[in-house]
Amino acid sequence: MTGVKVSDDRAGDVRLGRIGKGVRVLVALAGIGLLINGSVQASDDAWPFGPMSQYAGSVADDASITYTRISAQTDAGTTVDVPLNIEGAGVARAEIEARTGEIVADPSKLQAVADGWAKKHPDKPKYVKLELIRDTTTLVKGRVVGPPKSEVLATWQVRR
């Protein structure tokens, strides 16, 4: 931004009328007000006027960090972690984590994961058994010590 001074008045500038300028300033101030309100008291529901809460939580030095994944036995005899994204099995990890309770109550919901994989990857080994697993890493003084503890939350024998 060298050379031209932006703040200089120039006769050739296209000016706004009083109303045009007033409305624009009010809209901008209202938008800023909504955003501040969102950050102070709203939730993600108010998008785009919600809080910027990505990674805004505080995690204690002795926290237990959980990580939910789905492990699959395939018809090729291998055990793999199901890729939880749109290209993989068609569902995102966030979705699985949000629905963990529902899946534990009704493991047949895992059938959709096997179907999604088979539909997107017809040439790859099919899933025959799925396990919903929660890995828990417990921090000690803010450090990771040792491997996570794994707990099987739900098991589903895939229907063909």
Residue 28 in the binding site for other proteins (CB under 8 A): yes
Q: Cβ 64 to other proteins, closest distance in Å? A: 10
91-120 residues in contact with other proteins (CB under 8 A) are: 92, 94-95, 98
User: Is the CB of 25 or the CB of 104 nearer to other proteins?
Assistant: 25
User: Is the CB of 122 or the CB of 145 nearer to other proteins?
Assistant: 145
d(C-alpha 107, C-alpha 159), whole Å: 12
User: Is the CB of 86 or the CB of 104 nearer to other proteins?
Assistant: 86
Q: Is 66 helix (H, G, I), strand (E, B) or coil?
A: strand
Torsion of CA 44, 53, 92, 143, to 10 degrees: -150
Provide the 8-state DSSP code for 3. S
Q: Taking a C-beta distance cutoff of 8 angstroms, is the pair 110, 70 a contact?
A: yes
Say how many C-beta atoms besides its own lie within 10 A of residue 155's C-beta: 13
Amino acid at 116: G
Strand partners, 139: 144
Residue 19 in the binding site for other proteins (CB under 8 A): no
Contacting residues toward other proteins, per CB under 8 A: 1-2, 6-7, 10-16, 20-22, 24-25, 28, 31-32, 35-36, 38-40, 44-48, 50-61, 63, 65, 67, 86, 90, 92, 94-95, 98, 137, 139, 142-144, 148
